[in-house]
Amino acid sequence: MPNVPEVTSVPTSQPSPTGEAEAENTLAGIGEFGLIARLTEGRPSAQATLLGPGDDAAVLAAPDGRVVACTDVLVAGVHFRLDWSGPVQIGRKAAAANLADVAAMGAVPTGLLVGLACPADLPVETVSGLTDGLWEEARSVGVGVVGGDVASSPTLVLAVTALGSLEGREPVTRAGARPGDTVALAGRVGWAAAGWAVLARGFRSPIAVVSAHRTPEPPYAAGPQAAEAGATAMIDVSDGLLADLGHVAKASGVRIDVRTAALAVPDRLVDVGAALGVDPMHWLLTGGEDHALAATFPGDVPDGWTTIGTVADGEPDVLVDGRRYDGGPGGWDHFVR
């Protein structure tokens, strides 16, 4: 997941209040248990939740006998900025990053666990927005927040764990692609990267592009659909299409060739690319955070999936139109600059 540009100061909270009335509007004013109450009270439980927030641990049904689990950490100033995105948008994005990983295994979500670390002077309104966003995205796939933890921290951090069920299917891993398979894509790519580029230049429009960075729209249902259709490998495109297909190529021991002719560049991205002096195809190939799904299939691809390449024998690698991509890194790596 890409980071946000370095700035002198990234606002993670508002100035400390000076009076008692204002203090009640911060986490220091309502305290830990007041915060937990605001995070959990009045929220409906999902079907898989047998025991929700309020005890030492939650209890979820697992009729399949297996549990899919994944975690993502979002740090203010690295993954998001409160002057770029509202709290609800950040909450939704944090949930989506994990729910998409569950879908990429061919599973359906069953619940979220949330770790929240934040400054004591963070406004309650900000935390309420984060919580609303987490719950909104969770409810969009029929689940909820089943538990978690809170702590004080000088920096706002969201750590989300998603749990899921395979519903009797085998997990679709990164390691199953075979020569002769077709590479296909569900969901959109390039939009979030274009939105990041717009925001980094100090602009706030076009809104459709900026909104793609603020709130991704993963194709959650496409994951189980691909598993049912016999997908041999699958991955969530979080760091960039080429980078993430590279993980599939390495895990499967195959060579993948992506055809740019199969990747339609939306007119809106053409316009933004022209304005910023960027080839929009670069965003489609290397941009992350749209959380599309990429998968390989031994035969025809399911409805809603677009064929974008092929799998062949060879040293593990990802080619673009038969050649190594020379337009820069294929995606984001937090520790390689």
Q: Is 121 a known ligand-binding residue?
A: no
Tokens 């409906």 belong to which residue? 44
Q: Phi-psi bin for 65: left (phi > 0), alpha (psi -120 to 50), beta?
A: left
Strands (E), 67-219: 68-75, 108-118, 145-152, 157-165, 182-186
Q: Is 64 a known ligand-binding residue?
A: no
Instruction: Give the chain's radius of gyration (CA, Å).
Output: 21
Q: Is 239 a known ligand-binding residue?
A: yes
Nearest to 284 by CA among 298, 304, 264: 264
Q: Is 72 a known ligand-binding residue?
A: yes
Q: What is the dihedral of CA 226, 310, 234, 197, to 10 degrees?
A: -110
86 within 8 A of 129, measured Cβ to Cβ: yes
- What is the C-alpha separation between 154 and 132, in angstroms, rounded? 22
Length of the chain, please?
A: 337
90 within 8 A of 133, measured Cβ to Cβ: yes
Q: Is 230 a known ligand-binding residue?
A: no
Strands (E), the chain: 49-51, 59-60, 68-75, 108-118, 145-152, 157-165, 182-186, 233-237, 255-258, 292-297, 306-312, 317-320
Residue ranges of the annotated binding site for substrate are 79, 289, 332
Residue ranges of the annotated binding site for Mg(2+) are 56, 71-72, 101, 149, 236, 239
Residue ranges of the annotated binding site are 56, 71-72, 79, 101, 148-149, 174, 236, 238-239, 289, 332
Residue ranges of the annotated binding site for ATP are 148-149, 174, 238
